[in-house]
Amino acid sequence: MAELPDNPDELEIVIYPHPALRETAEPVEDPTDPRVRPLVERMRKLMMDGNGVGLAATQVNVKARLFLANPTREPGDEVVMINPEVVESEGWQQTEEGCLSIPEVTCRLRRRQRVKVRYQDLDGQSRELDATDFLACIIQHESDHLVGRLIIDRVGVAGRMNIREQLSRLESRFESSRQTAGR
């Protein structure tokens, strides 16, 4: 089961190639655990500050099967999905996706146009949502994060060539910050 932080106020979005982005999230045993809401509030703030439309717990270095999705970017419009599972999908759409954990990188991807997802809400209630278009894309993107998959893993060879310089810069920055922290 997922380890939830006691004090999420210090959490920040981790940046590629941080190892947490490759972790597989663990189920949240009790969505009503008093540590869940503060975690969600911190994630909401980070997502909004970053002008994002979704954020998975793994992106803040928490291995919990939990994410937020907010296609409107309007405060209060987010959907919190705990222990989500995509149970149906159909159709295809082309997307242009970025990621708060991979700044300055966008990828053209092929995603399902419609998904049905089962999840629990903050009250522990089981829910089902039929999502299409942009919301379906966000759900798939954040679900990928919960299994350690990134948008850069979904691009073809040509797409990978187009972003290699940006990824190389992010990798260099990450290594420099680790060396500085180790001193």
Catalytic residues: 142
Counting other chains too, the contacts that 177-182 makes at CB distance below 8 Å and 24 or more residues apart are none
CB count, 10 Å around CB of 76? 7
Q: What is the dihedral of CA 67, 132, 163, 73, to 10 degrees?
A: -60
Contact between residue 39 and residue 64 where contact means Cβ atoms under 8 Å apart: yes
Q: Where are the alpha helices (DSSP H) in 2-147?
A: 36-49, 133-145
Q: What ranges make up the beta strands (E) of 70-136?
A: 79-97, 107-120, 126-132
Contact between residue 109 and residue 94 where contact means Cβ atoms under 8 Å apart: yes
State the Rg of the chain over Cα.
16
Q: 9 — alpha (psi -120 to 50), left (phi > 0) or beta?
A: alpha
